[in-house]
Amino acid sequence: MSTSAAAHTGLVELRSYQLKPEGIKEFMRLTNEKLELRKSLLPFLGMFTKEWQDDYLAFSRKCLITQESSIYTPAAGVLAAAGAVPLQHYSSPAKQGQPIYELRQYQLKPGYDGVPRLLAAFEKGIPHKVAADPVGQLVFFGSTEVGMLNNVIELWRYPSAQACHDARKASRAVPEWRETIAAAAAQALLQGEQAAAASQLSAERTQFGDLSSFLRHSLAEQTARADGLQRSLADALARLETAQASAAAAAAAAEERRAAEAAAAQAELDSQRQRLQQADTFLAERDQLVRRAQEAEAQLEEEKRRHHKLQMDRERKHASDRELWRRETAEAVQQAREEMAALTDQRLDATTKQTLIENEEMAGELQYQGRHVPSLLARNSALQKEVAELRVQLIISRRNEEELARKAVSCERAAESMVARMEALEAQRAAGEELADQLGAQLEAAREEARAAELRAAAEASRAEELQAALEAKTREMQRLQAERGDSAAFLLACLGDVRQQLLAQQGRAELGAIAEHVQQWEEEAEEAAAGCPGSPATCGGSRAAPAQHMAQLAQLPQQQREAVLLRLLEQLGVDWRAREGLLLPATSSSSSSGAAMSGAAAPAAERGSPSKLAQAVAANGKPGAAPSRPACLRSTSSVLSTGSKGACSRSELLELVQSEVRPWGGRSLSSSRVAAPAAAASHSGRRLGSVASDGSQ
């Protein structure tokens, strides 16, 4: 059957599956289960089923290694040349034996003219193949539009495998078909080129897989961040919902109370209405029975009058008929006598005969009337019985009427009581409506309170968020302060170690006594100077006049006082120096600080000594692990001069020490008041002036 090229429309999608050996049975089972649904949705041309929804993909994917999907458009010219039926109208012939389908696939070289050339060659050669092989049937011939491009397929149907073999042998003997196959081979892609293209495609798939994994990882990170924000939002919403739930619970409780009271009042009102409806129904039935009794009584009276009238009419008629018959008979006898007297014997005989005949007729009439009278009497008896029954029914109806009257009276009384109760219920309903209005007002007030509570809850939530942010900021600041506090404690412990080593290196108690005397003399001179220069620090001419009266360089103090000062600073920091002292390395020098201004020029550079390794590290970096290019900011403190005789620092001096200004470590010289000291004091304390610094704000 030949067809035109315009009849071959639409497209064909060909999907190929490479299955695992152990998954073939499961895949076929799943496909057969979904086959009917697929056939009901689209025309079925092969073993296809739906690819989305339900769980088909989830179960069948376990059976697959690879899957490819291509969309083919029919080659209308080739199909028309072969006389093929359009695909949408194709139906498989009646099954005889085991038919087979042969799918041929051509992968052409890249280019725009490969597919058109191949189609033109097949249009010329395929009619000769069909003529040489009348058994084979071309089902479809088309090229790809979606999928691997430059791909052409042809699908043939044969009634058996032997028929397919015979068709191949027959087509080889056709020169036009051999030319067509040669043209197809010229346009087809070689195996090596096809492998290279496949490897390139695999590499591109791998690259896209890497990109996909990177994008999935980025998406997972963003999702985790979004989940964290979502949890924070959920916590805030939970707090808000808690406040809303409490307000809603109060409103719901008030609403439930009002609804329960309204429902109870409505139920009572409905019950009273039902009872009133029953009373109305009873009254209507009573009125209907009364009307029926009255109608029956009237009908009985009418029937009684009619029967009495009928009986009287018949009696009168019977009496009048008997009188008429008697008169007529008497007249006839009298007339007969007169005629008999006047007539002759002959006429008398004729008249006698005529009279006898008339008498016989009269006897028949009387006999007929005699037969009709018993029926009338029987009917009269029946009517009398019916009248008796009607009288009995009338008596019963009158009794029923009396009973109904009594019931009507009781119903009227019940109705009056019901009306009274209805009036009371109406009053209760009015009171209930007033109560409902009050409850509605209370509910509105509760709703207003709930809205106000929601607003307060929102304000509390925002305030809680602000407090949470402030708490986080304070927590970070506390962590920073704790870190700085630890660095300061480490620095003070290092200084304490240096002071203790210097204390052990001193020789003799005599030097300590001399230093104490010079210190006491120095303090007295400072007090006299302070007494002689009243006023503000600016008028005294010093840069820091007020602290200079009570403070001096730490290096000028005796070793015991320096140790006491450092221990006091550690106590103010809240550091258990006894527990941490064993963790510090012993210092190798007798000095504890660097960068302080000297009090006078009596201390030579050779006697200043060198700081310990830990002090050098702290001085160089500001704190352990800091960058050398940017020293940490430390609070510089002036050394405290003891005013007592036992080497202990006063609390005011310690506070002044802790509250001193912050200066960069290793920068300009720490500000201190120069105090004139005797040469002996300078010689004893001329090793090196130290200062105490703490990292960060305390």
Q: Average pLDDT, stretch 350-360?
A: 82
Could you tell me which residues are beta bridge partners of residue 551?
640
pLDDT at residue 626, as a whole number: 39
Given a contact cutoff of 8 angstroms between Cβ atoms, the answer to whether 497 and 567 are in contact is no
pLDDT at residue 648, as a whole number: 42
194-216 burial by CB neighbour count: b if 16+ within 10 A, else e? eeeeeeeeeeeeeeeeeeeeeee
Q: How confident is the model at residue 194 (pLDDT cuts 50, 70, 90)?
A: low
Written as six digits, the tokens of 297 are 């009584």
Q: How confident is the model at residue 246 (pLDDT cuts 50, 70, 90)?
A: confident
Residue 585, pLDDT > 60, answer no
Q: How confident is the model at residue 577 (pLDDT cuts 50, 70, 90)?
A: low
pLDDT at residue 294, as a whole number: 86
Given a contact cutoff of 8 angstroms between Cβ atoms, the answer to whether 158 and 100 are in contact is yes
From the list 698, 637, 625, the residue with the least C-alpha distance to 665 is 637
Name the amino acid, one letter, at 578.
Answer: R
Q: How much helix, strand and coil, in percent to the nearest 5, is found in the chain? A: 70, 10, 25
Contacts of 572 (CB under 8 A, 6+ apart): 654, 658, 698
Distance CA 500, CA 495 (A): 9
Q: How confident is the model at residue 625 (pLDDT cuts 50, 70, 90)?
A: very low
Q: Average pLDDT, stretch 81-97?
A: 76
Distance CA 365, CA 307 (A): 27
Q: How confident is the model at residue 503 (pLDDT cuts 50, 70, 90)?
A: low
Domain limits of the chain? Answer: 5-189, 289-463, 506-532+544-695
DSSP state letters, 174-208:
-HHHHHHHHHHHHHBPPHHHHHHHHHHHHHHHHHH
Residue 77, pLDDT > 50, answer yes
* Total residues found in the chain within this entry: 698
pLDDT at residue 678, as a whole number: 36
Q: Average pLDDT, stretch 444-451?
A: 81
DSSP state of 544: T
pLDDT at residue 516, as a whole number: 57
Given a contact cutoff of 8 angstroms between Cβ atoms, the answer to whether 96 and 24 are in contact is no
Which of 49-53, 150-154, 496-500 shows the lowest mean pLDDT across its residues?
A: 49-53
pLDDT at residue 59, as a whole number: 73
- Give percent above pLDDT 90 in the chain: 0
C-beta neighbour count of 579 within 10 angstroms: 8
pLDDT at residue 287, as a whole number: 86
Quick one: CA dihedral 61, 63, 68, 73, positive or negative? negative
Distances in Å between the Cα of 276 and the Cα atoms of 13, 123, 267, 284, 493 are 77, 96, 14, 12, 101
DSSP state of 110: S
pLDDT at residue 5, as a whole number: 60
Which has the higher per-residue pLDDT, 219 or 43?
219
Written as six digits, the tokens of 186 are 């010229």
Q: Average pLDDT, stretch 483-507?
A: 68
Q: Which of the listed CATH numbers 3.30.70.100, 3.40.190.10, 1.10.10.350, 3.20.20.210 matches domain 5-189?
A: 3.30.70.100
Written as six digits, the tokens of 262 are 């309204």
Q: What is the mean pLDDT of the chain?
A: 71
From the list 141, 155, 99, 157, the residue with the least C-alpha distance to 3 is 141
Could you tell me which residues are beta bridge partners of residue 66?
18
Which of 47-61, 133-147, 277-291 shows the lowest mean pLDDT across its residues?
A: 47-61
Q: Average pLDDT, stretch 449-468?
A: 82
From the list 365, 380, 358, 354, the residue with the least C-alpha distance to 322 is 365
Distance CA 592, CA 498 (A): 5
Q: Which residue has the tokens 């962590």?
A: 479
Instruction: Identify the H or E element spanning 9.
Output: none
Distance CA 637, CA 202 (A): 72
From the list 135, 134, 118, 122, the residue with the least C-alpha distance to 80 is 122
Distance CA 660, CA 635 (A): 7
Distance CA 347, CA 331 (A): 19
Residue 248, pLDDT > 70, answer yes
Residue 239, pLDDT > 70, answer yes
Given a contact cutoff of 8 angstroms between Cβ atoms, the answer to whether 656 and 551 are in contact is yes
pLDDT at residue 575, as a whole number: 57
Could you tell me which residues are beta bridge partners of residue 185?
none
pLDDT tens digit string along 284-340?
Answer: 888 888 888 888 888 888 888 888 888 888 888 888 888 888 888 888 888 877 776
pLDDT at residue 232, as a whole number: 80
pLDDT at residue 195, as a whole number: 65
Task: Classify burial at 657, counting beta carbons within 10 Å of its beta carbon; exposed 0-12, middle 13-18, buried 19 or more.
Answer: buried
pLDDT at residue 598, as a whole number: 33
Which of 354-368, 520-534, 652-666 shows the lowest mean pLDDT across its residues?
A: 652-666
Given a contact cutoff of 8 angstroms between Cβ atoms, the answer to whether 1 and 71 are in contact is no
- Torsion, Cα 552 557 561 563, to 10 degrees, reads 100
pLDDT at residue 663, as a whole number: 34
Residue 619, pLDDT > 50, answer no
Distance CA 374, CA 176 (A): 126
Beta sheet of 137-146, edge-to-edge order: 12-19, 64-74, 137-146, 151-158, 100-107
Residue 517, pLDDT > 70, answer no
pLDDT at residue 105, as a whole number: 87
Q: Average pLDDT, stretch 426-451?
A: 82
Written as six digits, the tokens of 193 are 């080129």
Distances in Å between the Cα of 586 and the Cα atoms of 486, 487, 567 are 18, 17, 17
pLDDT tens digit string along 588-606?
Answer: 333 333 333 333 333 333 3
Residue 25: HSE in the Cβ half-sphere, 13 Å Cα cutoff: 1
Q: Average pLDDT, stretch 621-644?
A: 38
Q: Whole-prediction pTM value?
A: 0.28
pLDDT at residue 537, as a whole number: 40
Written as six digits, the tokens of 243 are 């406040």
